[in-house]
Amino acid sequence: MQTPIGRREFLASAAVGTGLSGWLGRLAAAAPDAQRPKSCILLWMAGGPSHIDTFDPKPEAADNVRGEFKAIETLVSGIRISEHFPRFAKLMQHAAILRGMSTLESDHKLATYHLHTGYQNRAGAVAFPSLGAIIARELGKRDVALPNFVTIGRAPQEAIGAGFLGPDHQPLSVNDPIRGLDFVEPAGDKAQFERQLELLQGFDEAFHSHYKSAAGETHRTAISRAVRLMKSQQKQAFDVSREPDAIRESYGPPPAATVRTAGGKMAGGAERPGSFGQACLMARRLVEAGVPFVEVVMGDGVGWDTHRDNFPRVRALSQECDAGMAALVTDLHSRGLLDTTLVVWMGEFGRTPQCTGGGRNHWSRAWSSVLVGGGIKGGQVIGRTDRDGAAVADRPISVPDFLATVCTVLGVDYKRKNHPPGVDRPIPIVDTSKDIHLLKELL
């Protein structure tokens, strides 16, 4: 987690040119057009949730596979999911469950990178941009105050970056949805703030006149965007306290007050129950304001990595996830935003069919993800696993298949090539070195 800086350090860093090629250099926004562009909310389930205990139950399997949870019917006849997603079950007409996910990495970091970028992470290779950075570049705008890419929660830093797309497309990170965006209010009174800005701009002008460079121009743009956000009323999109109590409560009970250590971390390093729902609410506020890509992370610390105590932990996580995700989909639909907002639910892989010693281990050969809204054809399941959920029996879905489909739903050409600096070959948005099979059932 990035350590917060104080307001004085904020302006001091601007004056000396440090710290602003990060999130301040990435502020842009997508203002509503006559035809609203699409946006994406990625609900990242850190740790890898069990497909069998969530969206691919196996009631006919042996006890050590089936586990403790029952399967329930959804609003769509024939589609059953875990009993701990009862609210989402009533929204299945908007969703597609992809039960044929079959991927290449079963290590947390490698799989997280793979699912975020579409490429495998190899030492010394190209730093590939994440999906959020790609969508920020393709669908974002540079002439308004809000950022194009926001992460909420402790996002996987090794996987969410802009890679070779550069600092303009890095995400703005919000660690705590209850606290919102830190240090966005000007330090001191307005007159003092304007004097500080004038001084800073004078330094920048003098430096730029003698040392013209791309880095210097990026820094000046960063300052401009930071100030624009600080002065803009759009920053209120980060403040979930502005929502009516009934709306906030529909996303799940807000968490208790945060207890932090001297280093700014929560005591015990655990995610507060309830923060996921409020993060989903912030995500809705952000896409409503025009942000094209928001990633909400659930599973700080151990999260869905249930090598131990699988059933009590998955039960608690599922119930909290169900409240937040169902409220998000319902809220988007009621505001006329669901057709233009694609909600993606996934982790880095699934879990083993056999539950031994009370836990399930990593399993990437067969698992599930979920897509909702965005204009897709909902109310369906794509792909099928075998009786035990150990292998894909029908319609395998690779990472390139999945990300190419997501890009297509969002109106982005996944075949478009970028030209990374220092690399002598163009690189497509999605790895097209192997055949890609779009999920045409969704389109």
Cα gap 31→268, rounded to integer Å: 40
User: Containing H/E element for 276?
Assistant: helix 275-289
Q: What is the pLDDT of residues 47-91, one digit of tens each?
A: 999 999 999 999 999 999 999 999 999 999 999 999 999 999 999
Q: How far apart are CA 436 and CA 346, in angstroms?
A: 20
pLDDT at 264 over 80: no
- Predicted pLDDT at 422: 83
Quick check: 309 pLDDT over 70?
yes
DSSP 83-126: TT-HHHHTTGGGEEEEEEE--S--SHHHHHHHHHHSS---TTS-
pLDDT for 421 equals 86
Residue 186's pLDDT band, with cuts at 50, 70 and 90, is: confident
Q: Which residue, among 290, 296, 21, has the nearest Cα to 141 in the 3D structure?
A: 290
In sequence order, the β-bridge partners of residue 97 are 370, 381
Nearest to 150 by CA among 17, 329, 37, 29: 29
The stretch 117-142 carries a mean pLDDT of 91
**CA–CA separation, 195 and 310 (whole Å):** 57
Residues 372-406 as b/e (b if ≥16 CB within 10 A, e otherwise) read bbbbbebbbbbbebeebbbebeebbbbbbbbbbbb
Mean pLDDT for 330-343 is: 98
Distance CA 109, CA 342 (A): 25
Q: Given phi > 0 = left and psi -120 to 50 = alpha, else beta, which region is 231?
A: alpha
Query: What is the rounded CA–CA span in Å between residue 158 and residue 150?
Result: 15
* Alpha helices, H only, 118-173: 131-139, 157-160
Q: For the chain, give every domain's residue range.
A: 7-442
Got the DSSP string for 4-73? Answer: P--HHHHHHHHHHT-S-SSGGGG-------SSPPPEEEEEEETT---STTTTS--TTS-HHHH-SPPEEE
**What is the value of pTM for the model shown?**
0.86
What is the CATH superfamily name and number for domain 7-442? Alkaline Phosphatase, subunit A (3.40.720.10)
